[in-house]
A and B are shown apart, each in its own frame.
Chain A
Amino acid sequence: MIDLTDITKNYRMGEVEFTVLSQVSLAVRKGEFIAIMGPSGSGKSTLMNIIGCLDRPTSGQYRFEQREISTMTDDELAAIRNGKIGFVFQTFNLLPRFSALKNVEVPLIYSGVPARSRKERAAPLLEKVGLADRMQHKPSELSGGQQQRVAIARALVNNPPLLLADEPTGNLDSRSGEEILNILTGLNQQGVTIIIVTHDKDVAARCKRILHLKDGRIVSDEAVP
């Protein structure tokens, strides 16, 4: 599903150019559940952004479902993010002015789904993550765990084959974190490919494959027994 070949990402800061990712190659098959680990500055967020089509590599090839990503226009990338990839962030990133239901509807707005069917598609997902009675609440009226569940519902609303989670439990207490991981595990069992970036060994232990990054390189890639 995902084929990264010799992906390199350089950033320029003033006169100095430094390499964040160096010749990373990675293949992800459909249905995998992967944790990306590594110390701060190892390049795991950058790798995540490239996989998520938020960023372009400086060099190398990125094929997503057999399509070359690195040469796509901004609009084409937006369409991939909208339909093929769901994002779950550490800080939830919900729109503060909107209700839970409206937040879940946002990706549907950009895929041109009319208002009535948006509600019909968003509501069942909130029920699925256990927030049937919180649909009209604003993010500020929800707990961290509830906000993250709204974010997961939002990530799933377009039925994307890939879910990217960047420290999804980083801002949660352990019980809420556990709930979120259970939801993610359940989704993976239903066939959604999931990639999680995390520091947390316990989180990584729930995955089926763990990658370690260091100084922009993959230093280990092992299956969880």
Chain B
Amino acid sequence: MNFYETFRVAFEAIVSNKVRAGLTMLGVIIGVMAVILLVSIGEGARVYITKELSGLGTNLIVIQPGKTTTSGGFHPPSAGTVRKLTYEDSLALRRRAWLLTDAVPIVLGTGRVKYQNQGRDTTVIGTTAEFERVRNLFVDTGSFVRQEDVDTKAKVVVLGRKVKDELFGEESPLGKNVTLSDARYRVVGVMRKKGMSLGWDVDDVVFIPVTSGQELFDTDAIFEMIASTPRAEDTERAIAQIKDILIRRHAHKEDFTIVTQGAMLETMNTILNVLTAALGGIAGISLLVGGIGIMNIMLVSVRERTREIGIRKALGARNRDIMAQFMIEAMTLSGAGGVIGILLGVGLALLIPVFVDVLPTSVSAWSILMAFFFSAAVGVFFGVYPARKAALQDPIQALRYE
């Protein structure tokens, strides 16, 4: 008995029981759809976060005060041993770490910006001129914080787009004075609109010179430094250089932490791959349930057709012919369910971002292949037992079966 014939017999059996076949397939359809959908949501999150992290700048190295990645052991809190990072540290890096294109100091806080009777609580970032270039955030009109502003502790401010819109509306803010935590600042620039990035509204922020920021927040430390290298390959050496310079300035103690953009990307990737795998695994359970549904229906089908099996055997069907007939029936059910599930899953994955813009999706070829492979495997795995049961029927018993 050739394959085509076996397939046709199986197909006819399925068609003759459309509703039941449809319901059985539904289990696989939902399973495959869930796998593709959830994996594409996981993938989407990964792609989105990778893109956002990369959008922060290129080859970034962030230096933060305090050693946070010491390994092992219990560290009793020892007051005063951690030396803060300072503006001077960033100057030293800029002067001596020749592998770095920039080393930008950051002071971070919140403050209330007021213009006339409008006010807004916002994020205040004290920094230097190079921030623009390193962080890929650019001024739209006017100018950014300049080096002489930093040197002279000038009371100038660059407004984020949202802050400008809130306080000035259509009016041009350039040259106007705003109050920032009871001090008067002159607006020198407005940032380009950027939108949300990793959950942070980049437009709801104001920039002032780092030195003015230290005064504003009454500190001689800085929050962190952002450095960058021209080429990714230089990162390791640049880190060594930074350590070398800072350790010497910090009484031979490594009391700071260096995080690279590459390491962040890698960590995020790892986390999100695990997330994707977990989502896929959960969806896989529903595929498994679908497979059990197939087995269940195939067992019913074998029982119902006991007499048919007997007749076919009496007429010369070998065990393997009967086995093939039921296997192909199971695999047709799961395969067709798989294809429909893939179409639905891919369709939904492409539709979701259209309606829900916080849920990016990314349909990957491997998830489609995997889902199809698994649905076919489910057909084989859950088809074998009923098909074997059918094939090993005793022809006489089967013929007598009512």
Contact = CB atoms under 8 A, between A and B. Distances in A.
Interface of A: 49, 52, 54-55, 74-75, 78-79, 81-83, 87, 89, 93-95, 97, 106-107, 109-112, 115, 154, 158
B16 A97 contact: yes
Contact of A82 (B16, B307, B310, B316): B316
Interface in B291-341: 307-308, 310-321
Contacts of B2: 112
A106 B310 CA distance: 13
Interface of B: 1-2, 5, 12-13, 16, 307-308, 310-321, 395-396, 399
Taking each of B12, B313, B316, B396, which has the highest tally of chain A beta carbons within 10 Å of its own beta carbon? B316
Contacts of B1: 109-110, 112
State the 3 A-B residue pairs at the shortest beta-carbon distance, nearest first. Answer: A82-B316, A110-B316, A78-B318
B308 A54 contact: no
Contacts of B5: 109, 115
Contacts, number: 63
- The prevalent SS among residues of B at the interface is helix
Contacts of B318: 74-75, 78-79, 110
A54 B395 contact: yes
B316 A95 contact: no
Contacts of A55: 396
A95 B308 contact: yes
Given A95-B308, A106-B315, 12 more contacts: A54-B396, A78-B317, A78-B319, A87-B315, A93-B310, A95-B312, A97-B13, A97-B16, A107-B315, A110-B317, A112-B1, A112-B2
Contact of B399 (A93, A95, A97): A93
A107 B311 contact: no
Nearest to B321: A110
B307 A83 contact: no
Nearest to B4: A115
Contacts of B313: 54, 78, 81
Contacts of A115: 5
Contacts of B314: 52, 54, 81, 87, 93
Taking each of B13, B312, B318, B399, which has the highest tally of chain A beta carbons within 10 Å of its own beta carbon? B318
